[in-house]
Amino acid sequence: MVYQAHSSRYESMEYRRCGRSGLKLPAISLGLWHNFGDTTLIDNSRQLLRRAFDVGITHLDLANNYGPPPGSAEENFGRILREDFLPYRDELIISTKAGYTMWDGPYGDWGSRKYLIASLDQSLKRMGLEYVDIFYHHRPDPETPLEETMRTLDNLVRQGKALYVGLSNYPADLARQAIDMLNDLGTPCLIHQPKYSLFERGPENGLLDVLQEKGVGSIAFSPLAGGQLTDRYLNGIPADSRAASGSRFLNPDQLTEEKLMKVRKLNAIAERRGQKLSQMALAWVLRDDKITSVLIGASKISQIDDAVGMLANRRFSAAEQAEIEAVLA
């Protein structure tokens, strides 16, 4: 059956301006890091994407190495785009990235002009696109001159292969340098993607202030700390969980009794707010305008619905904020 997007898809979502640009992003964006590779049934991936768009999630975030195996998330997304979403292409913000290992040899990683241009060409081919809306450098390269990487991002916009460019995982000082270089080149940095959650506060040490000062948007990844900030681990580590399987994204050693105690206390605060812990954790990341959007992953439609349901209650009283800080101290 031909997919037709829900006519009310823009009614419940909140759209926030990305820095000082003309672009607005949904408060919730969908990341295709997990659950869209070849190990997942494509019909499940299709249902997740359809539901996301039907509730106003217009921003879909990929990277060259998403899968598994690397590249398969873009390929599978490209197929679903072609079969379901082509009539809606201009309603979507599609982003991808390069910066982590993608292929063997010295040209398949980091931040050289050679790698970034080849990688984006490959990504466009896998997805069947003429351009992406946002192209990110996925992580700083300690060896390639920053000027080379930023000049390449500028060139890719001028070639029409990306509408905007962004940074990910850049610390505050390096982000400031990169943003200034892009401004000088005439291709402003649209957005920065940091890891940020109740359990990962690093961006508060200068990065968010730099982005606000420079008029750059931000989108937080891993806002649920790999699943720690959900009700999944309230009673320990379930046998079928990501932590139990020894996933490199969530090690059981991270879930100490001290950490689990904090999770339970945060859950109690969420319950008093009439929310699930995951909803409160997302609302907390979005609590002020320094964060443009929060990036969720999903393996079930209910997780998308929960995230969007959070928008009805994303304000915190001063007392609630103080109580949360006391738990985290």
The per-residue pLDDT for range 67-94, each reduced to its tens digit, is: 999 999 999 999 999 999 999 999 999 9
Predicted local distance difference test score (pLDDT) of residue 233: 84
Predicted local distance difference test score (pLDDT) of residue 242: 62
231-254 per-position pLDDT tens digit:
988 887 766 666 655 655 666 667
Residue 102 pLDDT > 70? yes
Residue 28 pairs with which residues in a beta bridge?
294
Alpha-carbon gap, residue 227 to 217, rounded angstroms: 25
Alpha-carbon gap, residue 307 to 303, rounded angstroms: 6
Q: What percent of the chain has pLDDT over 70?
A: 95
For domain 15-232+278-317, give the CATH number. Answer: 3.20.20.100
Residue 4 pLDDT > 60? yes
Alpha-carbon gap, residue 62 to 119, rounded angstroms: 13
User: b/e map of 284-307 (b: 16 or more CB within 10 Å)?
Assistant: bbbeeebbbbbbbbbeebebbebb
pLDDT band at 197 (very low <50, low <70, confident <90, very high): very high
Predicted local distance difference test score (pLDDT) of residue 251: 66
pLDDT band at 297 (very low <50, low <70, confident <90, very high): very high
Alpha-carbon gap, residue 204 to 172, rounded angstroms: 10
157-172 per-position pLDDT tens digit:
999 999 999 999 999 9
The candidate with the shortest Cα–Cα distance to 70, out of 81, 61, 62, 78, is 62
Whether 77 and 32 have beta carbons less than 8 Å apart is answered as: yes
Strands 59-61 and 93-98: parallel
Predicted local distance difference test score (pLDDT) of residue 256: 87
Q: Mean pLDDT throughout 263-277? A: 98
- Higher-scoring residue by pLDDT: 255, 16: 16
The candidate with the shortest Cα–Cα distance to 242, out of 229, 231, 251, 234, is 251
Alpha-carbon gap, residue 5 to 173, rounded angstroms: 42
Whether 207 and 11 have beta carbons less than 8 Å apart is answered as: no
Question: Among 48-52, 105-109, 222-226, 245-249, which is the least confidently predicted range?
Answer: 245-249
The DSSP symbol for 200 reads B
- Please, what's the largest Cα pairwise distance for the chain? 54
Predicted local distance difference test score (pLDDT) of residue 308: 98
Task: Kindly report the length of the chain.
Answer: 329
- Assigned token pair, 291: 């964060």
94 three-state secondary structure: strand
Strands 15-17 and 24-26: antiparallel
Predicted local distance difference test score (pLDDT) of residue 25: 98
Predicted local distance difference test score (pLDDT) of residue 116: 98
Q: What percent of the chain has pLDDT over 90?
A: 91
pLDDT band at 52 (very low <50, low <70, confident <90, very high): very high
Predicted local distance difference test score (pLDDT) of residue 235: 81
Mean of all residue pLDDT scores within the chain: 95
Predicted local distance difference test score (pLDDT) of residue 255: 77
Kind plus residue range of the DSSP H or E element containing 213 = helix 207-214
Alpha-carbon gap, residue 185 to 62, rounded angstroms: 26
**Domain extents in the chain:** 15-232+278-317
Predicted local distance difference test score (pLDDT) of residue 317: 97
Kind plus residue range of the DSSP H or E element containing 183 = helix 172-185
CA atoms within 13 A on the CB side of 288: 8
191 three-state secondary structure: strand
Catalogue the E-assigned strands of 169-256.
189-193, 217-220
Predicted local distance difference test score (pLDDT) of residue 184: 98
